[in-house]
């Protein structure tokens, strides 16, 4: 059985509230879980201490049993000092897409055209 530590969404429309849970990876996101490990409230300010609350002893126990945290939960655990920080790099994030490169070429050509006419 593949175990995950992940977020389960609660709350109403446009007012999310998440539970940090240990669950079987085959279960639906908001479905059955084995144990609730904490809460995450994204509506609170980032510097608010109540934004993320976890029972770190339970989390460490599940990690020792082989549970894999999702990306977002792994970031919470890194901030809490439970996991080592991993280097993340997405070099393609800064590269513009096709449409933007075409617009940039047209803009550069339009800017160069009046200068060439003089």
What are the pLDDT tens digits along the chain (118 aa)? 689 999 999 999 999 999 999 999 888 888 889 999 999 999 999 999 999 999 999 999 999 999 999 999 999 999 999 888 888 888 888 888 899 999 999 999 988 877 665 5
Give me the residue spans of the domains in the chain: 3-89
Fold of 3-89: S16 Ribosomal Protein; Chain: A; (3.30.1320)
Spatial CA neighbour of 40 closest among 82, 86, 92, 75: 75
How far apart (Å, rounded) are the C-alpha atoms in residues 5 and 73? 7
- pTM, entire model: 0.73
């Amino acid at each position: 059985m593949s175990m995950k530590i992940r977020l389960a969404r609660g709350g109403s429309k446009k007012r999310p509230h998440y539970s940090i849970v240990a669950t079987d990876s085959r279960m639906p996101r908001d479905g059955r879980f084995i144990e609730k490990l904490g809460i995450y409230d994204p509506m609170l300010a980032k510097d608010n201490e109540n934004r993320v609350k976890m029972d770190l002893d339970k989390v460490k126990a599940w990690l020792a049993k082989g549970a894999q945290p999702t990306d977002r939960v792994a970031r919470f655990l890194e901030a809490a000092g439970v996991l080592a920080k991993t280097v993340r790099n997405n070099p393609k994030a800064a590269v513009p897409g096709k449409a933007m490169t075409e617009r940039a070429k047209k803009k550069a050509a339009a800017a160069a055209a009046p200068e060439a006419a003089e």
